[in-house]
Amino acid sequence: MTEFKIPELGENVATGDVTRVLVNVGDTIARDQPVVELETDKATIEVPSSVAGVVKEIKVKRGDKVKVGAVVLTVDAPSGEGAAGSSAAPSESAPEPPAAEASASAPPSASAPPPAPAPTPAPTPAPAAAPTPSAVGPTRVVPMPVRSAPEAAVQPAAPVKLEGARGPAAAASPAVRRLAREIGVDVNAVQGTGAGGRITQEDVKEHARRILSSVGSAGAAGGAVVARAMRPLPDFQKWGEVERQPWSNIRRATAEHLTYAWTTIPHVTQCDKADVGALEELRKQFKERVAKAGGNLTITAMLVRVLATAVKKFPQFNASIDGERGEIVFKKYVNVGVAVDTERGLLVPVIRDADTKNIMEIAVELQRLAERAREKKLSLEEMSGGGITISNLGGIGGTYFTPIVNWPEVAILGVSRGTTEPVWKDGHWEPRQMLPLSLSYDHRVIDGADAMRFLRWVVEAIEQPFLLSLVG
């Protein structure tokens, strides 16, 4: 008999909710066959089996919350298969020893040494996954220092992992990583004092103490924010009937991520309108050709190409701030995220290398990603690595809005519903279809004048589509 356990699901992903069990007792399964569907903080994923054989027992059911290392099912493996399956599992899905669990939950004042590792060679740490719109830390706010600003900034407790950063992941055990997540410390920023530079629990606690002691007067402000965040709600049942529903993992992660972005980034939003008449005529002219290729030629798909060209002209819009090092990270690649509204909440799949793709290729890929998002099939990789984001609410309505920058990015373009308006042109009024645009940006990186130049460039590219071919 061979057990299949939940493998590592990604950086900072420790648990998931079982949404579907894809096999039954008595089924014969193959290696790499999906056996269970989990909803994590970042996505809904199908977990493939690392073992093969006949399913003898299923230990989870829909609605269960499972941790990495939990046993999902047992199989009666054919000769040779069980060994192959179990040999692939130790470094990926072995549950942590109970001692690690106990030490991870110890209070910050504890000084006991970390638990002894399992008697196997320490695996080479895998590179950290690119961040996605989520946060795993507790719902509280911890003041963090920013070297590049004269005053300390108050930031929520979420491990800070800036996109575009390079270098090996920190050498730390799962228990140490869990402790870092719980107290809001970026484990990759901790200096290890253990053997070979490994990070211990005491290293994490000492790093947190240094952060808290360095913020000075900002601590009082941070305490006020914590107090507001933890303030209990009134008893609403005094005034009538209520219903309580738990947040889904994705909805909670979205809330924490946006709270972090709003608290950390000094937002400014600038607005403008673009005459979308010429672009709309091209869309209608070529939409059938794109449909035959498997795509949907939307304004959003065309705007992805516009933004991909714009950020090459204005590289500060494709950057991230490394506050700890006091640096700005400029990305040489161009990936554009597109916010997708789903029944589970907001998801942001990413069009990679958008500057190298034509509009038809972008439309086909965007259609595929949007369908995968609504079918709960988006992978973590498909939502990672964005450099700038588009949020199009025009299909619902509205004029302007203030989109929140999708940290660690520094800009997001909001699109509202186009309307027909009178426009003074060539000495007379003409009815023109005008598209409202809202550009939110991080004022630490982008000045207002540069933001307006960027937005005007986008408007001109929309109004004169040939500009993309002329300068792109």
Ramachandran class of 376: left when φ > 0, alpha when ψ lies in -120 to 50, beta otherwise = left
User: Of 32, 54, 36, 33, whose CA–CA distance to 44 is shortest?
Assistant: 36
Is the Cβ–Cβ distance between 215 and 221 less than 8 Å? no
Q: Please report where in the chains the tokens 């000075």 appear, as a residue.
A: 216
333 Cβ contact list (under 8 Å, min separation 6): 352, 353, 385, 387
Q: Does domain 265-471 have CATH number 3.30.559.10?
A: yes
Residue 296: CB partners within 8 Å, gap ≥ 6? 287, 290, 363, 366, 367
Could you identify the residue written with the tokens 């060539």?
426
pLDDT tens track for 418-451: 999 999 888 999 999 999 999 999 999 999 999 9
Angular region, 361: left φ>0, alpha ψ -120 to 50, beta rest: alpha
Whole-number Å distance between alpha carbons of 180 and 104: 9
Give the model's pLDDT for residue 230.
Answer: 54
Contact 294, 371 (CB under 8 A): no
pLDDT at 45: 79
Among residues 223, 176, 220, which one has the least CA distance to residue 202?
176
Q: Mind listing the pLDDT tens digit for each residue in 255-272?
A: 888 888 998 999 999 999
Amino acid identity, position 145? P
User: What does the pLDDT read at residue 166?
Assistant: 38
Question: Is 60 exceeded by the pLDDT of residue 275?
Answer: yes
Q: Where in the chain is the domain with CATH 3.30.559.10?
A: 265-471
CA–CA dist 49, 72 (Å, integer): 10
Reported pTM = 0.58
CB proximity list for 25: less than 8 A, separation 6 or greater:
55, 56, 57, 58
CA proximity to 439, closest of 317, 297, 322: 317
Distance CA 159, CA 324 (A): 12
Q: Could you tell me the end-to-end alpha-carbon distance of the chain, in angstroms, rounded to an integer?
A: 60
Length of the chain: 472
- Burial tier of 241 (Cβ tally within 10 Å: 0-12, 13-18, 19+): exposed
H or E segment and range at residue 103: helix 98-104
Nearest to 209, CA basis, from 103, 326, 111, 321: 111
Omega of the bond prior to 119 within 30 degrees of 0, cis? no
CA 60 to the chain's CA centroid: 27
Mean of the pLDDT values across residues 287-306?
94
Lowest mean pLDDT among 66-80, 179-193, 328-342, 441-455: 179-193
Mean pLDDT in residue range 244-263? 83
Give the model's pLDDT for residue 290. 93
CA distance 58 to 425: 70
d(CA 457, CA 397): 24
pLDDT of residue 270: 95
Beta pairing class for 336-338 and 388-392:
parallel
Q: How far apart are CA 272 and CA 434, in angstroms?
A: 10
29-51 pLDDT, tens digit per residue, is 988 888 998 887 667 778 888 88
Radius of gyration of the chain (CA): 25
How many Cβ atoms from other residues are within 10 Å of residue 221's Cβ? 16
CATH 4.10.320.10 in the chain, residue ranges: 101-109+128-227
CA 141 to CA 281: how far, in whole Å?
49
d(CA 181, CA 224): 22
Topology annotation, domain 101-109+128-227? Dihydrolipoamide Transferase (4.10.320)
Q: What is d(CA 376, CA 149) in angstroms, rounded to the nearest whole number? A: 41
pLDDT band at 212 (very low <50, low <70, confident <90, very high): low
Give me the architecture of the 2-94 domain, per CATH. Answer: Beta Barrel (2.40)
Q: Which helix (DSSP H) or strand (DSSP E) does residue 154 occupy? A: strand 153-156
The model's confidence at residue 354, banded by pLDDT at 50, 70 and 90, is very high
Q: Report the candidate in 378, 351, 349, 374 with the shortest Cα–Cα distance to residue 362.
A: 351
* 372 backbone dihedrals φ, ψ, rounded to 5°: -65, -35
- Cα–Cα dist 21/47, whole Å: 10
C-alpha–C-alpha distance, residues 364 and 296, integer Å: 7
CATH code 2.40.50.100 region(s) in the chain: 2-94
Q: For residue 211, what pLDDT is reported?
A: 63
- Owner of token pair 């300068």: 471
Q: Where are the beta strands (DSSP E) in 179-279?
A: 267-275
**CA 191 to chain centroid:** 26
257 catalytic? Reply is no
CA dist., res. 261 & res. 360, Å (int): 33
